[in-house]
Structure 1
Amino acid sequence: MTVAPIPEPLGVLEALHSTPARRYLAPDPIPDDVLRAVLDAAIRGPSGGNMQSWGWVVVTDPALKAPVAGWYRENWERAYGSRRAQILAAPPGAEGLTPRGYLGAEHLAHHLEEAPVWVFPVLRGAADATSPRLGSSIYGAVQQLVLAARAYGIGTSLTTLYGGHEDELRELLGLPADALTMALIPMGYPAKGRWAQPKRRPVEDVVHWNRWGTPPPAAGRPG
């Protein structure tokens, strides 16, 4: 039996600050032991009431990937493809998807099925749910999967752009009638790009202290 490579010794904060979405993924296979270790880390994540009403569907079969990739590309073209020229011409500092980010997302849309592994996080009892907080029961565990993959040098991104085909996907994957897929996470060793801190607005712009609109204390001052 092969032994999973030892993961990179990353500190928690280092991993949190250096795990961007990786959309240029090589087709090289991920060893089964590595994939199992990543999934084992994911299921240690938070679960509401510790119910663990989830499943994790790993897809490597090209025949299963093909129709999903087709749905994904249809949605990509509808949502972003028609705005390609506009987005790529955006000036530096413009809000929203940057030209570089667009090209990466476009590449993923056109090469999605080449990612050697897909993971669908699935929630039971969620097919007819209407709560906007539904994802709280699984997305914490999804982030643990992403961070564990990072430790093994595996790139990921989280997407739901296959949406609108849930019934077909349920049948394709043989999911229970009450199940709902919560994301698609393509996984693979990065073929381009680097581990870098994603650009975000500063804390002062997005954090509110006690009440909305009240800025946080200045650095070095008690709250």
Structure 2
Amino acid sequence: MNLLYMFQHGPSGTFTSPNFPFQYDSNAQCVWVITAINNNKVSLKLRTIFKKNPYCLHNVKYLKLLLSIEFDLEIGYDTLTIGDGGEVGDPKTVLQVLTGSFVPDLIVSMSSQMWLHLQTDESVGSIGFKVNYKEIEKESCGDPGTPLYGIREGDGFSNRDVLRFECQFGFELIGEKSIVCQENNQWSANIPICICEYQMPFF
């Protein structure tokens, strides 16, 4: 079994799974502990961008939206567990257990520390992931961003703040039209995506 243990410190940074963007090792155990400065909180962004591949017929120049994934684990077999605080593996502190390729837009700690534990099995793996983290103020959910070809109303990221979304002309909104920053410092949903209303097949 391969064991990797690393410590990350604020105010921001980036790290990846072993061998990223190539296949990670089998039977791996990797742990990262992130510590913010001045008792701030840790905001974690696992980059996963799903877009369909349509051509937008209403545009003068055809627009191609590509699929770009920076998080992918063998679904059901390899996991990334994310927890609050510095006690790695404590089930009471677990915030998310991720597998496959669907992840939240942001994950925010309740304290000034966050831990991540990657565990893989003996079978074939996948590309793994790239993580961006940064410190944010207390009682904040962090900036979830704006959808590609979307418009966002609202610029507050504190508890009970609401963000509303719509899409540019010719694009359809898929997902929630509004999200709320909850008391646990997590957004109530991922930001939506905007896809072309009109599509034509590839040639």
Q: Place the TM-score, normalised by the shorter chain, in its bin.
A: under 0.3
Give the structure-1-normalised TM-score: 0.19
Higher relative contact order (CA 8 A, sep 6+): 1
More helix by share: 1
Give the structure-2-normalised TM-score: 0.20
